[in-house]
Amino acid sequence: MTDQSALSGRIAVITGAAGDIGHAIAARFAAAGAGLALLDLDADAAGRLAQGSELPPGRSLALGCDVSDEASVERTVAAVLERFGRIDILVNNAAALTPLAPVADVPAAAWRQAIDVNLTGAFLMARACLRPMRKAGRGVVINIASQLAHVTTPGRAPYSASKAGLLSLTRSIALDHAAEGIRAVSLSPGAVMTGRLTRLIGSPDEVAAALAPGYPAGRIGRPEEVAAAALFLASDAAGFVNGSDLVMDGGYTARSVRPRASAGSARDSGCRCRRATSTGAPRTGRADRARSDTRSGGASRPAPCG
């Protein structure tokens, strides 16, 4: 078996497929022979991806889906089954990034949004896809978590809690369904060079300058690296990998550092995307952000944004 045939004949459902990481996973899975259901809140963007040159025509289906909405999930999974007749792989990749705020100031709506999309959405998708997987006696669920499931940074409570919950959901799926031939694994990337980060920080060079120094590897990750790890986890080569998490963060969480005395609040955490809004758009211009970043001080490594 080669990378080109690792997923031959399998059907993979990918949520948040229109984002950079979802796109990279879709391209990698397609190259490995999988048929794809590309789900995203942004149905048009998922449709453009399905028609792109990286994906073989006729083997991918794009559908609008809100993973946090039970009815939307059930409708969408039914449509996937109607088209393909089976689901072998689910990649829970969709995620919401909420505004940075210390816990005392987190609006309940922001907390709920992160939990609803990142955790409940993954549960709803898994529950719907586990039914056909059980019948087939095989299946793989891959939950895209984050290094922020393991560590956190000031101001990121909703996102971090939702991603930490995803690790627990992964273990539960693994234990509850291992005897039915189903595996569940999670992947925890560090910061990855994506539109999510360039929208928050600036050009790729600015993103690299802001974040790479915090990584022992001296750089942040690439979407293709996440896709390569997802391909391994989805394939039979990972047949004995179940209930575990793969951290891929260039050594970020392996390192222990002592924060400076000023660290400890979202305001001075050093996080380069502290002005993120719920839509991921910065509230102010780049000059403002740059000034504010210079003042930020805080922890002795730049806070991760993943």
Ligand X SMILES: NC(=O)c1ccc[n+]([C@@H]2O[C@H](COP(=O)([O-])OP(=O)(O)OC[C@H]3O[C@@H](n4cnc5c(N)ncnc54)[C@H](O)[C@@H]3O)[C@@H](O)[C@H]2O)c1
Q: Which residues are catalytic?
A: 159
Q: With binding defined as CB under 6 A, does residue 274 bind ligand X? A: no
In contact, 87 and 132? CB cutoff 8 Å: yes
Q: Which DSSP helix (H) or strand (E) runs through 11? A: strand 11-15
Q: Which stretch binds ligand X (CB under 6 A): 89-97, 178-186, 239-247, 292-300?
A: 89-97
Task: Please state, in angstroms and rounded to a whole number, the distance separating the CA atoms of residues 274 and 11.
Answer: 38
Amino acid found at 44: D
Q: Of 67, 31, 63, 29, which is closest to residue 45 (Cα–Cα)?
A: 63
Give the one residue of 7, 14, 19, 141 binding ligand X; rule: CB under 6 A: 19
Q: What's phi and psi for 82, nearest 5 deg?
A: -65, -40
Q: How many binding residues for ligand X (CB under 6 A)?
A: 31
Q: With binding defined as CB under 6 A, does residue 194 bind ligand X? A: yes
Q: With binding defined as CB under 6 A, does residue 93 bind ligand X? A: yes
Half-sphere exposure of 222 (CA within 13 A, CB side): 5
User: In the complex with ligand X, which residue's Cβ is closer, 40 or 293?
Assistant: 40
Report the site for ligand X in 120-149 (rule: CB under 6 A). Answer: 121, 144, 146
Cβ burial of 243 (10 Å; 0-12, 13-18, 19+) is middle
Give the one residue of 26, 41, 238, 246 binding ligand X; rule: CB under 6 A: 41
Kindly write out the interface string for residues 151-190 of this chain, putting x where it contacts ligand X by CB under 6 A and - elsewhere. --------------------------------------x-
Q: In angstroms, what is the C-alpha Rg of the chain?
A: 19
Amino acid found at 184: A
Task: Please state, in angstroms and rounded to a whole number, the distance separating the CA atoms of residues 117 and 122.
Answer: 7
Q: With binding defined as CB under 6 A, does residue 202 bind ligand X? A: no
CB of 257 to ligand X, least distance (A): 20
User: In the complex with ligand X, which residue's Cβ is closer, 17 or 178?
Assistant: 17
Give the one residue of 36, 96, 140, 161 binding ligand X; rule: CB under 6 A: 96
User: In the complex with ligand X, which residue's Cβ is closer, 95 or 174?
Assistant: 95
